[in-house]
């Protein structure tokens, strides 16, 4: 059965790194809305230009646009066959509502919350200094995470789907925690799996 997972975490919590490791381990498709938007920017489309100014300001692209992009991606055969790790979506209550509809029969197995404090992620992002990481944009993104995205964790928790993992430590340490939190989902290849 393909898995359908969601990963949450503040900007700078290490979602990208842990997502790449999980995708390798589970064979699911990594669907990162931030990566999709950055690809649109790189391709120089009019939509990309619009997205860039929104992203640079630390604001969110509108729900309608994001839901349309994700809906199309979730319908593609690779995702239908292999399942998905959603990274960066849903980010607002409206996106979460729409996601449930988009997935239809495909139930979400788990939502992973990679927990790193506001102080820690702020320090990490200022160190990394991407050109969209101005102090104002960082502050805006963190504020939107608290007001828009964090409430979604409670929704996943109320459905018993949320696992919270301490995101501080080495890449390996955090990945081991993610795997233990996911339990049997990550036991692919374990001695009992093929029996």
Rank residues 59 and 128 by Cβ distance to ligand AMP and give the closer one.
Answer: 59
Which residue of 18, 33, 113, 122 would you call a contact of ligand AMP, by CB under 6 A? 33
Q: Are 47 and 40 in contact (CB under 8 A)?
A: yes
By the 10 Å C-beta count (0-12 exposed, 13-18 middle, 19+ buried), 87 is classed as buried
- Cis amide bond preceding 90, omega within 30: yes
Which residue of 4, 91, 98, 110 would you call a contact of ligand AMP, by CB under 6 A? 91
Residue 112 C-beta: closest distance to ligand AMP, Å = 14
Residue whose token pair is 């049997």: 184
Residue 6 C-beta: closest distance to ligand AMP, Å = 11
Q: Is 61 in the site for ligand AMP (CB under 6 A)?
A: yes
Q: Are 94 and 177 in contact (CB under 8 A)?
A: no
| Chain residues 133-162 in contact with ligand AMP, contact rule CB under 6 A | 141
| Chain residues 70-89 in contact with ligand AMP, contact rule CB under 6 A | 88-89
Q: Is 98 in the site for ligand AMP (CB under 6 A)?
A: no
DSSP H/E element including 160: none
Q: Is 54 in the site for ligand AMP (CB under 6 A)?
A: yes
Which residue of 7, 11, 108, 152 would you call a contact of ligand AMP, by CB under 6 A? 11
Give which of 149, 3, 47 is closest to 88, Cα–Cα.
149
CA distance 114 to 178: 8
Residue 36 structure tokens:
């999709």
Give which of 73, 79, 91, 83 is closest to 5, Cα–Cα.
83
Residue 9 C-beta: closest distance to ligand AMP, Å = 9
Q: Is 96 in the site for ligand AMP (CB under 6 A)?
A: no
Stretch that binds ligand AMP, among 30-38, 40-48, 115-123, 178-186 (CB under 6 A): 30-38
Distance from chain centroid for Cα 68: 17
Q: Is 31 in the site for ligand AMP (CB under 6 A)?
A: no
Give the interface with ligand AMP as residue ranges (CB under 6 A).
11, 33-34, 37, 54-55, 59-61, 66, 88-89, 91, 95, 141
């Amino acid at each position: 059965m393909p898995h359908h997972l969601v990963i949450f975490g503040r900007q700078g919590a290490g979602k990208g790194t842990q997502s790449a490791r999980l995708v390798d381990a589970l064979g699911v498709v990594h669907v990162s809305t931030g990566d999709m938007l950055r690809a649109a920017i790189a391709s120089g489309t009019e939509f990309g230009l619009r997205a860039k100014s929104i992203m640079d300001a630390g604001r969110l692209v509108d729900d309608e646009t994001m839901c349309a992009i994700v809906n199309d991606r979730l319908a593609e055969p690779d995702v239908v066959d292999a399942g998905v790790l959603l990274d960066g979506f849903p980010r607002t209550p409206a996106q979460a509502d729409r996601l449930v509809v988009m997935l239809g029969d495909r139930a979400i197995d788990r939502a992973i919350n990679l927990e790193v404090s506001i102080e820690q992620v702020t320090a990490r992002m200022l160190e990394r200094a991407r050109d969209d990481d101005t102090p104002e944009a960082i502050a805006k993104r963190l504020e939107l995470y608290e007001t828009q995205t964090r409430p979604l964790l409670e929704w996943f928790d109320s459905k018993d789907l949320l696992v919270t993992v301490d995101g501080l430590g080495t890449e390996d340490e955090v990945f081991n925690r993610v795997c233990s939190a996911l339990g049997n989902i990550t036991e692919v290849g374990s001695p009992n799996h093929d029996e």
